[in-house]
Chains A and B, each alone.
Chain A
Amino acid sequence: MIVSGEEFTEGQHLQQQDVSLFSNEIRFIQTQAVSWRIQGMLFYKSTTFYLLLFTPVFILIIVLILYRRSLKLRNDRVALRTKRAQKLARKRLVQAHKFMKAKNHQAFFDEIFRTLWGYVSDRLNIPVAQLNKKNVANAFSVKNVSEHLAEEFLETLSECEYARFAPAGFENPMQETYDKAMQTIVTIEKEMRKQSSKSK
């Protein structure tokens, strides 16, 4: 990189006859504004240097730990709700079975109705305030539950709704609704479990 002045001019002369360089003269001083520093003060290896060097890494580690923790917390909460969904559905079906035995139509369909809604709310992680058929259908398709199954589920739900207010003597047979509700929940559970194991 460093070429002596003389050699530089010789090389120049050979190629460019029209430019004569007298490079044995020094260049002029610089007169622009100057940024001053303390004599002999080095930034490298100073405490501030090390502090600034480790701060970004330190912040990175903290951010990653916090991120991981929030992710785990969210997963745990979802897992907990899933578990609760199955448990609660089972409990309510047992209760509905009791009502069926007692031939209490009103209470039976009410219980099945609540079983189904409660189950999807917990299982699909939908807040109760946002529970409606459209949202549920959407959530099912997001979770890759087959359309046929989703339809069946919503149909059972509608049946219960009508049956609750049906005049005496016109009700659907309770055993059929009971079996259907149980069957859909079991099948949905199976499909969702298959999906989740596939995505892992």
Chain B
Amino acid sequence: MIMARSIIYTLLVALLTTPLFSETPELLMKKANEAYIDESYHKAIDLYERITGMEVESAVLYYNLGNAYHKTGQYAKAILNYERALRLNPSDDNIQHNLRVSRARIGDRSEPIPRLFFIEWHDSILQLQSVDGWAITAIVFITLFSLFVALLFIMKNRIQKQIFLAASVFMLLLFLISLYGANRQYERHYSVREAIVMTPRVTAKSAPSESAVDVFVIHEGRKLEITGELNDWYEVRLPDGNIGWIRRSAATVI
């Protein structure tokens, strides 16, 4: 995959660095960061958004863009970009911090429900890496596992055999943990679609129609789970389990 991806990158970089596309993500990033440092945040936003239009992404891009939106008071967009950054780099402390600050600005002081300590541990270990981070780790460990098993069979000495047996069991365990991590992160972020509310106040309806009964009101910057869609409407679910329909334009998918 590293090879396949590096080929794609090389092609991409080659494509983007040709005179026809004189704006490379690197160049735009540099300009945008300079604009941010100069405190011309609107200009920075414009430049960062031009990079997102190039079909490339990175945790740093989303983080910086989130900062620029935060500085201009567009907290919902800031939250959206911090959430996107966290998907690519879940363990980053700066992203987590700024997301909390942005949420606090729009009055979202909802704290996570206290949970049992081992669930906390489980989640903090899971958040060490992104989906692909765990996937790469899994491949590293399965390779080491195979290597140790081969050595286990080839070694004649009993002590050596025992060492390699222990090592291969350990590697198998780490492999399974990594695979589990990749799968959980995938389920959490990719098999479930999440969105951030973009308009200050949205009234969710009981059906995808303006004439339907109001179910609940939700404010800018809140996270929703998208459970279905019809024409111009999203069926969304709140963390407390309430389900309603909102206009597509009212929320942006993370």
Contacts and interface: CB of A to CB of B under 8 A. Distances in A.
A56 B131 contact: no
Q: Which 4 pairs across A and B sit closest by C-beta, in order of nearness?
A: A48-B1, A56-B146, A44-B135, A60-B146
Contact of B8 (A38, A42, A45): A38
B212 interface: no
Interface string B177-191: 000001000100010
Contacts of B56: 36-39
Interface in B29-62: 29, 33, 36, 52, 55-58, 60-61
Name which of A29, A30, A49, A60 has the most chain B CB atoms within 10 A of its CB: A29
A24 B149 contact: no
Nearest to B109: A4
B234 interface: no
Contacts, number: 126
A107 B155 CA distance: 49
Interface residues of A, number: 41
Taking chain B's interface residues, is the majority helix, strand, or loop, or is none over half, making it mixed? helix
A6 interface: yes
Contacts of B57: 36-40
Contacts of A4: 100, 104, 109, 111
A130 interface: no
A63 B154 CA distance: 10
A59 B143 CA distance: 10
A77 to B, nearest CB: 19
Contact of B97 (A27, A43, A48): A27
A84 to B, nearest CB: 27
Interface string B119-138: 01001100100011011101
A67 B154 contact: yes
B123 to A, nearest CB: 7
Contacts of A42: 131-132, 186, 190
B61 A34 contact: yes
A88 to B, nearest CB: 31
A36 to B, nearest CB: 4
Contacts of B67: 26-29
Interface in A14-51: 23-40, 42-46, 48-49
A32 B70 contact: no
